[in-house]
Structure 1
Amino acid sequence: MYATVEFVELLERSENLGRMIRDSEVMAAYNSSQEALYQDSETKAKIDAFTAVKEQYEEVQRFGRYHPDYSSIMKAIRSKKREMDMDANVAAFKIAERNLQKLLDEISGTLAATVSETVKAPRSGAAMKDSGCGCGSGGACGCAS
């Protein structure tokens, strides 16, 4: 591919947009909440405890209700998830993550609309969700998502 003036300008604008996102208040809030998430020993302990129970949960899921520890693991994972989700650092991180995703969705929607009205762009964090069928429509096609 040959580098044209238009292509070089497009790359420069893309890099500028990336820098603007990286330097935004939304990204700063995300980075600081992520840092707080991993710096606080209590929060880290809750995340580690949840991760350990989640591994057991995944093992139990292979056998479903027939696994001898099904009930205890199901109760434990709900309990650990609630403890983790109620942590102030985890809650702040989730809010910052949602705000960053919203910003990225708005930008991708604007870019897509600039190209054409028929270009599809992820909405409401759909890029981070698995619809199950691979169509990428987020279940809009009527598939089992």
Structure 2
Amino acid sequence: MLATIERIELLENAESLAKMVLESDIAEQYQICLYKMQHNKETQRKIKQFVGLKELYEEVQRFGKYHPDYKKVMMQIREYKREMDLDPFVAEFKVAENELQDLLDQISRLVGNSVSEHIKVPSGNPFFDNGHGSGCGTGGSCGCG
């Protein structure tokens, strides 16, 4: 693969775009929220408590309602998950994470559409999965996209 000027410019532009994303307010807010979540002792306790019970939950799931601790574990996992999700630092982080993901989805859609409106661009956001670019990957020729 020969390095052409066009390819070098394309790589430079991609690096520039990545730098702009990293320097954006959205990415900065994400980093701040991640730091706060990782450095709050009470938040970390809740996360560790949930992760610890999650292992037991996976064991119970193998046997389903026939496991002797099924009801107890199912109730605890819901309580621990709710406690973790309602933690202000976890909630703030999830909002920032979703905003960053939305930005990345929008960029992916713009880049894909600049090549062709039939480019399939994966995203976790159903808003971007509508219309062209979604479907079976045949470029819309089957009519599913």
Q: Which amino acid aligns with 1:6?
A: E
User: 1:41 is matched with which residue?
Assistant: 41
Q: Which amino acid aligns with 2:115?
A: V
User: 1:130 is matched with which residue?
Assistant: none
Q: Is the 8 A contact 2:120 2:135 kept in 1?
A: no
Over residues 64-97 of structure 1, what are the superposed CA-to-partner deviations in whole Å (9 max), with x where a residue is unaligned?
1111000000000000000000000000000000
Over residues 25-54 of structure 1, what are the superposed CA-to-partner deviations in whole Å (9 max), with x where a residue is unaligned?
100000110000010000000000000111
The two structures, once aligned, show a CA RMSD in angstroms of 1.6
Q: Distance in 1 between matches of 2:113 and 2:63?
A: 47
Superposition misfits of 4+ residues, deviation over 4 angstroms: none
Q: Deviation at 1:121?
A: 1.0
Q: Which amino acid aligns with 1:88?
A: P
Q: Which amino acid aligns with 2:122?
A: P
Structure 2 vs 1, CA of residues 137 and 80 (structure 1 numbering), >3 Å: closer, same or farther? farther
Q: Is the 8 A contact 2:29 2:96 kept in 1?
A: yes
1:76 matches 2:76: yes
User: 1:91 is matched with which residue?
Assistant: 91
Q: Distance in 1 between matches of 2:48 and 2:74?
A: 17
User: 2:10 is matched with which residue?
Assistant: 10
User: 2:28 is matched with which residue?
Assistant: 28
User: 2:131 is matched with which residue?
Assistant: none
Q: Which amino acid aligns with 1:14?
A: A
Structure 2 residue ranges without an equivalent (≥5):
127-133, 137-145
Larger Rg: 2
Structure 1 residue ranges without an equivalent (≥5):
127-135, 139-145
Q: Is the 8 A contact 2:53 2:77 kept in 1?
A: yes
Count of equivalent residues: 129
Q: Distance in 2 between matches of 1:69 and 1:124?
A: 34
TM-score (norm 1): 0.85
